[in-house]
Structure 1
Amino acid sequence: MGKSSILCCAVIALAAPAYAQVELKTYADRDGYIDVQKLTCAQLANTFQEDADYLTAWYSGWYNGLAKKHMMEVNRAKALEHEVIVHCKANRDKKVIEAIDVVFKAYRAEKGIKIKQ
């Protein structure tokens, strides 16, 4: 690796904000519950990856249950989970449910999927 590449990597690393990762349970109330409708993107982005994976799987089940859908396409779920986390890292002030809405709407628009109302 050349000196300019090393310097570039060092500048990027120093310029990027550092956030401490915490366990998902950090955001629970005193009884151990997390209000998933109030959870922020910053909180999701600050959790450990396995906690973010767990939480996004929970959201997927919640939304699919509301839609009375009982099937999951694993690769699509993982890809959309990744997109939600990416969106949350870029929009830390938003709620996770808002990020899910943005990502799902973009996915449906890209695929030409219409929602029955």
Structure 2
Amino acid sequence: MLTQTEAISILKNELSWPDVQVQIGRRAGFRCEYCGKDLLASYENYDLWQVDHIIPNGNNGIENLALSCKLCNFVKRGTDPSKTAKSNQRDDLINAAKEIINIRRKQKEAVYVKTLEAVITLRNDKGT
């Protein structure tokens, strides 16, 4: 078993992770900070790893960066959670972003369900 120091050294020196990626990943428990997806559960999940600016176009400080899966980052993009957050504290901004993302994910899911229903009908009909 590796020590914490050895693990960090491997990530940074052998795998070329920037220090900020290591910090963000550790802080978030290597999960999307918006939906909780374990970004190390599989290669497919790992490939979804993105770093999001909590406040778009904000600074690059670690307090304004969140570990995000690709879908949450895409769904949230360009939305400033500080407009609906209780305060500008990081936890409040993350919670406001989660609310925005949940609403938009439900909308996308409704479109998906409708699409799936139509496609299944077409698949089963096969042009007859």
- TM-score, normalised to structure 2's length? 0.28
- TM-score, normalised to structure 1's length? 0.30
Structure whose alpha-carbon radius of gyration is higher: 2
Greater RCO (Cα-Cα under 8 Å, separation 6 or more)? 1
- Give the number of the structure whose residues are more often strand, by fraction: 2
- Give the number of the structure whose residues are more often helix, by fraction: 1
